[in-house]
Structures are given as structure tokens and as C-alpha cells.
């Protein structure tokens, strides 16, 4: 285990670079101690013998609020108690007040049980590597697409998500290999949070959400994306993605049907490519028409099956290449680890934490 002095020397410059004001100089940062905490990966410190404490940072992470007292800086897999000895200026951690969020016309954002924020800023606090605690009430104002399909009281209930109904979230669950196309957060963040609050069971529910099921939540998600101004093709592709996820979780029969569709889609893409390469245009024609038949395996989400099939031709190649790239990286990282000794006190970040 590195000594405190050696560790402080190694970390001092990187800590200085993380202070919010560019005018701060690294020589003004003085390490005063080490502490151990286990509530999140970036709270872990090398000195387990030190007393366990919780890092003290104000809610929005504004380092300037600490002024001349000791500041607990949070850095990945390290927490070092440092003291700033120079002048502190306001940290530019708040967006300008004249820049409302892009979803303010479709959603209202408010403090829990409080007044509506005219700028529509959503409060999220990162509590784990990929988990956030919701700190705002979010309400959708547009057409849900479920009017007449579920009771009016349920339509009203599904419009809102709060920290009580959704304490934590991983935002949009997008596989790493697909994030070149859709990010885990963006203009679709409030829609993803409401959708996250509704999914979980394909069986009809009771109470405030009477009649709701995952397939309806997916349809509602598409309508929210439309209200946000997401273009037709992208929102239908996003709908197809969440619908496939719901289908695989809906039970063995539905999952088997989607597995058959997936195999047929891969076969169709291969047939189309072979047909183009060998000038067998009848093969291309068959591959082009086949999705109209196999999309029926998606049942009531037939449209999602069509979109998924016809977009897979150009979505799959970069996605597969991305997955291969991630695999190569993991293999190289594992290989490099064989040549670098790590003590029991080291806490390297794992692949799943990125």
C-alpha cells in the first residue's frame, strides 16, 4: 500500500486540475489526510485504518461554498481530504438562467412537492457508477397515446414521476455498443425517467396504474418522444428498442417469438447481401418482403418489428463493430493486468463501471 505522503504527492496535481476555477494553482492545494468510505466507488481511499466518514460536499457539488474550510474532493476511486489555501471564486457549475431546458414545452419540472421551475432543470445526483437519485418531480403535458385504452385516472397517474415513485434510475438503458446512435441521456431524459417508472411487468396492473403494462408504457414513450420533437425515424427506432426489451421480459412464449424473428432478420440481411454480391435480385426481393411477414411475431407491436427489421441493415454493422471493439479492449486490459502488480489495497475501476 502506498504511504500517505507518496499518495498525496501522486494525487496533488490531479486534484488541482479538478478544481472548478482555471485560475487556481496546484501549489495551493495541500493534502491534509485520508479517509475511508464505502458508499460509492469514488469514496474509496487507500488508508483503511483511518476513521470512516462521509464526504462533505454540498448538494450541487459547488466547491466555492466551502470557502476556506477543508474541502472533500471526490475523484474516481479516491477520496482525499484537501485544504485550499488560496482565494476561492464562484464555480461556474450552474447554467445561465436564460437557457431553459429543451423539454419545457412538453414537461413541467418542479422540486418535490414544490413550485414549477420555469427553466425545467432536472435534479439528478449520482450515487453509484451508473445509478442516479432523482431529485425533481416530472410531469408530462401532452397526449399519452393511451387515452381510451386505460382508465382516465390511470392516464392522469402515468403523467408524473417523483423521487418517491422512482428513487433511483439508470436513465435510458442503452447498450454500450448502441450509444453511437442513442445516448443514455439527452432531450429524451424526462421521457426515459417516466418510462423507467412504468415498466416492470407485462401483466395488467391495478390501483392508480390500472390497465398499464409494459407494451403500453413503450407506446407512451414514443408519444413523449414525439412531443419532444424527436424525428419520426429516430423515435420509432427507440420505440422498437424498448419494445424488444419488453418482449423478451414478457414470458417464454413472447421471448421465443422474438428470438425466431431475430434469427429470421439475420438470415434476411445475409440473403440480401449475398443477392447484391452475386446479382441474384430475386434473393434481394425475398429478403426485402420477408419483414412484412415476420413482423407479425411482434404481435400488437407490428410497426416496431417492421422498423427494427428495415433499419437493422445499417444499424447492425457499426453496432457489431463497436461490440467487437469493446471485446478487444477488455482482452487487452486483462492482458495488461497480468504484467502490473496490484496490491490488495488497490481498487481499480472495472469495465462495468464505465
- DSSP assignment string, 135-203: -SEEEE-S--S-BTTB-HHHHHHTTEE-TTT-SEE-SS---GGGTTTS-SSSTTHHHHHHHHHH-S-SS
Question: pLDDT band at 2, cuts 50/70/90?
Answer: very low
Place of cell 418517491: 164
Is the pLDDT higher at 55 or at 156?
156
* pLDDT value of residue 338: 81
* pLDDT exceeds cutoff 90 at 81: no
- Picking from 248, 265, 62, 232, the residue whose alpha carbon sits closest to that of residue 173 is 248
The residue-averaged pLDDT of 111-127 equals 90
Task: For the chain, give the percent of residues with pLDDT over 70.
Answer: 66
The closest alpha carbon to 220, from 254, 196, 249, 251, belongs to: 196
Give φ, ψ of 78 to 5 degrees: -145, 145
- Strand order across the 132-134 sheet: 124-126, 132-134, 168-169
> How confident is the model at residue 341, as a pLDDT?
64
Return the number of other C-beta atoms located less than 10 Å from residue 177's C-beta.
17
The pLDDT of residue 135 is 94
What are the φ and ψ backbone dihedral angles of 56, each rounded to 5 degrees?
Answer: -110, 100
Q: Is the pLDDT of residue 285 over 80?
A: yes
pLDDT of residue 247: 87
Q: What is the mean pLDDT of the chain?
A: 74
pLDDT of amino acid 75: 35
- H/E element holding 326? helix 302-337
Is 50 exceeded by the pLDDT of residue 141? Answer: yes
Instruction: Name which of 55-59, 146-150, 248-252 the model is least confident about.
Output: 55-59
* Residue 107 to residue 80: CA distance in whole angstroms: 40
94 vs 195: CA distance, rounded Å: 27
Mean pLDDT, rounded, for 224-231:
96
pLDDT band at 346 (very low <50, low <70, confident <90, very high): low
Give the model's confidence band at 173: pLDDT under 50 very low, under 70 low, under 90 confident, else very high.
confident
CB 218 within 8 A of CB 239: yes
- The predicted model gives 131-152 an average pLDDT of 94
In the prediction, which pLDDT does 133 show? Answer: 94
pLDDT at position 12: 41
Give the full edge-to-edge strand order of the sheet including 160-161.
107-110, 137-140, 160-161
pLDDT at 146: 94
Contact in structure between 129 and 135 (CB atoms under 8 Å): no
Residue 32 in 3-state DSSP?
strand
The whole-angstrom separation of Cα 74 and Cα 143 is 42
In the predicted structure, residue 77 carries a pLDDT above the cut 50: no
- C-alpha grid cell for residue 87? 482565494
Higher pLDDT, 214 or 200: 214
Instruction: Give pLDDT tens digits for 247-267.
Output: 888 889 999 999 999 899 889
pLDDT of 29 strictly over 70: no
Lowest mean pLDDT among 136-145, 161-170, 208-217: 208-217
E strand or H helix at 84, and its extent?
Answer: strand 78-84
> What is the model's pLDDT at position 195?
94
pLDDT > 80? residue 70? no
The whole-number pLDDT of residue 333 equals 84
pTM of the model: 0.70
Mean per-residue pLDDT, 323-338: 85
36: pLDDT strictly greater than 60? no
Kindly indicate the confidence band of residue 162, based on its pLDDT and cuts at 50, 70 and 90: very high
Amino acid at each position: 500500500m502506498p504511504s500517505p505522503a507518496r499518495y498525496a504527492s501522486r494525487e496533488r496535481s490531479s486534484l488541482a486540475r479538478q478544481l472548478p476555477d482555471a485560475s487556481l494553482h496546484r501549489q495551493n492545494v495541500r493534502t491534509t489526510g485520508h479517509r475511508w468510505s464505502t458508499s460509492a466507488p469514488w469514496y474509496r481511499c487507500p488508508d483503511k485504518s483511518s476513521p470512516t466518514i462521509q464526504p462533505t460536499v454540498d448538494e450541487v457539488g459547488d466547491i466555492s461554498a466551502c470557502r476556506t474550510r477543508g474541502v472533500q474532493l471526490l475523484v474516481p476511486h479516491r477520496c482525499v481530504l484537501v485544504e485550499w489555501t488560496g482565494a476561492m471564486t464562484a464555480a461556474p457549475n450552474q447554467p445561465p438562467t436564460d437557457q431553459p431546458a429543451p423539454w419545457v414545452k412538453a414537461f413541467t419540472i418542479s422540486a418535490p412537492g414544490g413550485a414549477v421551475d420555469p427553466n425545467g432543470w432536472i435534479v439528478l445526483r449520482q450515487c453509484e457508477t451508473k445509478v442516479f437519485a432523482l431529485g425533481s418531480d416530472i410531469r408530462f403535458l401532452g397526449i399519452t397515446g393511451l387515452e381510451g385504452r386505460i382508465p382516465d385516472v390511470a392516464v392522469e397517474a402515468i403523467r408524473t414521476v417523483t423521487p418517491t415513485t422512482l428513487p433511483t434510475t439508470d436513465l435510458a438503458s442503452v447498450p454500450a455498443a448502441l450509444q453511437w446512435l442513442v445516448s443514455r441521456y439527452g432531450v429524451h431524459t424526462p421521457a426515459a425517467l417516466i418510462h423507467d417508472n412504468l415498466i416492470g411487468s407485462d401483466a395488467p396492473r391495478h390501483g392508480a396504474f390500472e390497465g398499464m403494462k409494459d407494451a403500453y408504457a413503450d407506446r407512451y414513450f414514443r408519444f413523449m418522444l414525439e412531443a419532444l420533437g424527436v424525428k419520426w425515424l429516430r423515435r420509432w427506432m427507440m420505440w422498437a428498442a424498448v419494445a424488444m426489451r419488453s418482449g423478451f421480459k414478457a414470458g417464454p412464449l413472447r421471448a421465443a417469438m422474438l428470438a425466431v424473428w431475430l434469427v429470421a432478420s439475420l438470415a434476411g440481411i445475409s440473403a440480401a447481401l449475398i443477392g447484391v454480391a452475386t446479382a441474384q435480385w430475386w434473393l434481394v426481393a425475398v429478403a426485402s418482403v420477408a419483414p412484412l411477414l415476420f413482423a407479425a411475431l411482434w404481435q400488437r407491436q407490428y410497426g416496431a418489428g417492421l422498423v427494427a427489421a428495415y433499419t437493422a441493415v445499417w444499424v447492425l454493422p457499426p453496432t457489431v463493430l463497436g461490440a467487437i471493439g469493446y471485446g478487444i479492449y477488455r482482452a487487452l486490459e486483462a492482458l495488461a493486468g497480468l504484467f502490473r502488480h496490484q496490491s490488495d489495497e488497490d481498487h481499480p475501476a472495472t469495465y462495468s463501471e464505465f
